Amino acid sequence: MTDLKTVLSEAVATAFAAEGVDAALARVTPSDRPDLADFQSNGALAAAKALKANPRELAAKVAAHLEGHPALSAVEIAGPGFINMKLSDAALSQRAGEVATDADKAGAAAVADARKVVIDYGGPNVAKPMHVGHLRSSIIGESLKRIFRFRGDDVIGDAHFGDWGFQMGLLITACGDEGIADAFMVEGDGPFPSESPVSLADLERLYPLAAGKAKEDPVFRDRARKATAELQAGRAGYRALWQHFVAVSRTALTREFSALDVTFDLWNGESDADPVMEEMIADLKAKSLLVPDAGAQVVHVAREGETRKKKLDDGSVVQVPSPPPLLVISSEGSAMYGTTDLATILDRKKSIAPDLILYVVDERQAEHFEQVFRAAYLAGYAPEKSLEHLGFGTMNGTDGKPFKTRAGGVLKLHDLITMTTDKARERLKDAKLGDDLPEAEFEEIAHKVAIAALKFADLSNARTTSYVFDLDRFTSFEGKTGPYLLYQAVRIKSLLRKAADQGAEAGEIVIAEQAERDLALTLDAFSTAVSDAYDKRMPHLIAEHAYRVAQSFSKFYAACPVLAQGHEATRGSRLSLSAASMMQLETALRLLGIQTPERM
Ligand code: ARG
């Protein structure tokens, strides 16, 4: 099943080729003048330049090939040589009918060659509450996972839990100093208590304490570094204690992810790459990639001539490699953030052999990934271009800086969800929505509205841009918001329920009115929205499409009576159009990770 835009693109490409023009120029885009045409192709202009021909004449020759195409009712040349195309109502009717019966994909096409894709997102850390940075990664990553899977790829979502490295040494040392984990501090093989000596609250208190202390107290810092190295070397008591940290944190984090409707196929951590670590170090050495550098071991990743200026403490300026070398083994002998990332790539190669790995991580980690990817390519752990960092901007406060609570602290994800749900409840009550429903259902709706508000606000912005957190706007039932889209979807569902109650039956779609035409054109555009979102890794293109469907439907519903329509065939056609719109809107929302309630 092919969308009409693709059908036209292929027809125009064939026509270009028949005139000896590079078919790559035959791009078909939605018309700039929807009052005159549905689609246009500007390719004749560039082609004429290359061929030194008259663009209008060339456009006319191309257009002659399109004359009589079954999907077109008119082909015209406009301006200096634009080809304007108008779809026939029959083609639009048939296409809308296809969308209506495509319960699986709502009109979107699958990829020709499915790939194995790992998406690394979420990235929560042991002992650290999730904050808004993890929120963006989780929301965008979850949506990309759904989009890639929807297109037919074999997708594995991995949380890449931050459970290794210096932060673990900090926690172990802090626990030791507080005397709350004495049983784990003894050397030797144990056995060690199977009961966790720490709660989540302990961890959340101890971590900032230890991190702060390490900054001020070099002795404490060195002890924490030593503990990290010992943990990694396998000291049994430390491993046992560490396992409790991981388990306690994971239970809490899983609860938060489930509130967000974010799930992972793999809940691997940085530590899961540990088994390949030794082999990797040996391999990097054998390949002469790992070299000593002031007591540490690094991989140089900058190419010949890639340098940047660096100011030294004495004020002098020198040229240093850019990106800087990847630190693989610290002078204390421990693995670093980049080391676990590199080892994870090797581990994934062995266990999954992915064609592509996408990392959905804050833009501010761009250099880290540049270093890791280059090292991985140099070592042959991943095919060239198979690693992509998909950075994102920050969620800011009204001051334009990364969002903080009023007290100036980082906002915990849990508190953010509670706050948004409170607001959603208030909004629903104000709008007199769902107030006649049973308490439990109302609560479920409030939760869905809240999650829709947060996710849509995030995903309606291009991934790379930062945006301002504005709870009032996000939770409004008006404007480009999640709650507005849920409301529209629920409205269509209620229309369809009413139709079923009245025994009104859906029928063949026959496009006659302008508003029906516009709606059918919108439904046709879903396939492009999905493939563009996939190609560019940009979920906001789906968010935009969802909004377009809601608006087109709204206009259609205002202009074309459905149930009040006496003519049976027209009513049947409009019911099918409504069902297709609902299905596509719900599908688009699902790709954004947003659930639609049945009613509100
Ligand atoms: N845990 C990291 C953080 O909080 C994010 C992990 C991102 N993924 C990765 N493969 N490095 O910053």
Question: Does residue 41 belong to any structural domain of this protein?
Answer: yes
Cα→Cα distances 170→137, 187, 214, 274, 533, Å: 25, 18, 8, 19, 41
CA atoms within 13 A on the CB side of 435: 8
**Whole-model pTM?**
0.95
**Residue 49 shares a structural domain with residue 167:** no
pLDDT of the residue at 402: 82
8 A C-beta contact, residue 585 and residue 553: yes
Q: What is the pLDDT of residue 17?
A: 92
CB 345 within 8 A of CB 354: no
User: Domain ends where: 39, 63, 87?
Assistant: 87
Measured in Å, residue 138 CA sits from the centre of ligand 1 at 11
| CB 373 near ligand 1, within 6 Å | no
Q: Is there an atom of ligand 1 within 6 Å of 338 CB?
A: no
Residue 600 sits at the vertex; the CA angle it makes with 257 and 584, to the nearest 5 degrees, is 70
CA-closest residue to ligand 1 atom 2: 123
Coil, strand, or helix at residue 162?
strand
CA of 476 from ligand 1 middle (Å) equals 33
Domain count, the chain: 3
| Three-state DSSP state, 382 | coil
Residues 53 and 130 in one domain: no
Question: Which ligand 1 atom is nearest residue 368's CA?
Answer: 11
Task: Measure 382 CA to ligand 1 centroid, in angstroms.
Answer: 19
Whether residues 353 and 500 share a domain: the answer is: no
70 and 211 in one domain? no
For residue 521, is it within any domain?
yes
CA of 122 to the centre of ligand 1 (A): 8
Per-residue pLDDT of the chain (600 residues; tens, 9 = 90+): 799 999 999 999 999 999 988 888 889 999 999 999 999 999 999 888 888 889 999 999 999 999 999 999 999 999 999 999 999 999 999 999 999 999 999 999 999 999 999 999 999 999 887 877 889 999 999 999 999 999 999 999 999 999 988 899 999 999 999 999 999 999 999 799 999 999 988 998 999 999 999 999 999 999 999 999 999 999 999 999 999 999 999 998 988 899 999 999 999 999 999 999 999 999 999 999 999 999 999 999 999 999 999 999 999 999 999 999 999 999 888 889 999 999 999 999 999 999 999 999 999 999 999 999 999 999 999 999 999 999 999 989 888 888 887 777 778 888 899 999 999 999 999 999 998 999 999 999 999 999 999 999 999 999 999 999 899 999 999 999 999 999 999 999 999 999 999 999 999 999 999 999 999 999 999 999 999 999 999 999 999 999 999 999 999 999 999 998 889 999 999 999 999 999 999 999 999 999 999 999
* 101 within domain boundaries: no
Which residue out of 118, 339, 365 has the highest number of ligand 1 atoms within 8 Å of its CB and is therefore the one to mutate? 365
Distance 269 CA to ligand 1 centre (A): 10
Cβ neighbors of 171 (< 8 A, separation 6 or more) are 126, 127, 203, 206, 207, 210, 245
Atom of ligand 1 nearest to the CA of 128: 4
Q: Is residue 373 in a domain?
A: yes
Q: Would you put residue 537 in left (φ > 0), alpha (ψ -120 to 50) or beta?
A: left
Q: Are residues 154 and 235 in the same domain?
A: yes
Indicate the helix (H) or strand (E) that contains 493. helix 482-502
Q: How far is the CA of 168 from the centre of ligand 1 (A)?
A: 15
> Residue 535 corresponds to which amino acid?
D
Ligand 1 in reach of 98 Cβ (< 6 A): no
In sequence order, the β-bridge partners of residue 468 are 396
Interface ipTM? 0.99
Cα separation of 64 and 58, whole Å?
A: 10
Helix (H) or strand (E) holding 328: strand 326-329
Judge if 50 and 178 occupy the same domain: no
Ligand 1 mutation target, pool 270, 345, 361, 392, most atoms within 8 A of CB:
361
- Please check whether residue 116 lies inside any domain of the structure: no
For residues 513 and 471, state if they share a domain. Answer: yes
CATH number at residue 533: 1.10.730.10
Residue minimizing CA distance to atom 3 of ligand 1: 123
Q: Is the dihedral of CA 19, 21, 27, 30 positive or negative?
A: negative
Nearest to 598 by CA among 418, 424, 437: 437
Expressed as residue numbers, the domain containing 73 is 4-87
Domain for residue 320, yes or no? no
Neighbours of 312 (CB within 10 A): 9
Whether omega before 483 lies within 30 degrees of 0, making that bond cis, reads: no
Distance (Å, rounded) from C-alpha 373 to C-alpha 341? 9
Distance, CA of 176 to CA of 182 (rounded, Å):
6
Q: Is 341 in the pocket of ligand 1 (CB under 6 A)?
A: yes
* Phi, psi (deg, nearest 5) at residue 157: -90, 130
Contacts of 595 (CB under 8 A, 6+ apart): 261, 448, 451, 452, 589
Identify the residue whose C-alpha is closest to ligand 1 atom 12: 123
Confirm whether 299 is domain-assigned.
no
Q: State whether the beta carbon of 120 lies less than 6 angstroms from ligand 1.
A: yes
Give, using CA atoms, the residue closest to atom 11 of ligand 1.
341
Instruction: Give the Å distance between the CA of 506 and the centre of ligand 1.
Output: 50
The domain that holds 72 is classified in CATH as 3.30.1360.70
Q: Please indicate, yes or no, if residue 107 is contained in any of the structural domains.
A: no
Nearest atom in ligand 1 to the alpha carbon of residue 162 is: 1
Q: What is the pLDDT of residue 282?
A: 97
Ligand 1 mutation pick, 120, 160, 339, 394, max ligand atoms within 8 A of CB: 160
- CATH number for 379: 3.40.50.620
Asked if residue 421 and residue 385 are part of one domain, the reply reads no
